[in-house]
Chains A and B, each alone.
Chain A
Amino acid sequence: SQTIHQWPATLVQPVGSPLSLECTVEGTSNPNLYWYRQAAGRGLQLLFYSVGIGQISSEVPQNLSASRPQDRQFILSSKKLLLSDSGFYLCAWSPRLASTDTQYFGPGTRLTVL
């Protein structure tokens, strides 16, 4: 069966510090991968998605970037965090890039920027 992992689970970082969040998927090949951010009590905002190694699409301009160095690894990064980067970051995967596919979510990373 497929599983999706995210780490760390929680992170507290000072403003201006770098960020690296990791997401890995097991039990499937060539998944479509997604990074979402969720503000407290709000819906999900799609940040990036990837259909394959090295292929990243950005949905929202910001100081975050994403990379996919391996088929089942998706990384979210920042060189300098802002206060507004605080939130709950969710990674998800789907078999295809199609809205009829279920998206499977990881447990999330709670990021607090102070």
Chain B
Amino acid sequence: SQQGEEDPQALSIQEGENATMNCSYKTSINNLQWYRQNSGRGLVHLILIRSNEREKHSGRLRVTLDTSKKSSSLLITASRAADTASYFCATDDNAGNMLTFGGGTRLMVKP
């Protein structure tokens, strides 16, 4: 069963705007990861946030985690056309071994 669910399913913005994608999950987690996938390519890891962390930054990326609401958000600031891709959250299983990926958010950044 799918643990993480991204929202929205699709997002279209203009270059320079910020893009926010959300991920909700059902059961408690040890950590949550975000990945990016360019069309027709493999996934690339962006960032990992642990259950005891609330916020993490990497360049133009900001990830937050609210374990009480069982949700995470990925913010891309000052978006660029090259940020156009699908973004997936991945959560761990109860044993903390395997990852379960959500359905993804398709982001389009218009130049």
Binding site for B on A (CB under 8 A): 36, 41-44, 46, 49, 88, 90, 92, 97-100, 102-108, 110
Main secondary structure of the interface of A (DSSP, over half): loop
B41 contacts partner chain A, Cβ-Cβ < 8 Å = yes
Q: Scoring B residues 80 to 100 as 1 if CB is less than 8 Å from chain A, else 0, what string do you get?
A: 000000001001110011111
CB < 8 Å neighbour of B31 from A36, A97, A100, A108: A100
Whole-angstrom CA separation of A88 from B33 in the bound complex: 21
CB < 8 Å neighbour of B97 from A98, A102, A104, A107: A98
CB < 8 Å neighbour of A49 from B31, B48, B98, B103: B98
CB < 8 Å neighbour of B88 from A43, A46, A49, A104: A43
The answer to whether A99 touches B92 (Cβ under 8 A) is: yes
Q: Scoring B residues 1 to 43 as 1 if CB is less than 8 Å from chain A, else 0, what string do you get?
A: 0100000000000000000000000000011010000001111
Apart from A43-B103, A90-B42, A105-B42: 10 A-B pairs, beta carbons within 8 A = A46-B100, A92-B43, A98-B96, A99-B92, A99-B97, A99-B98, A102-B45, A102-B48, A103-B45, A110-B40
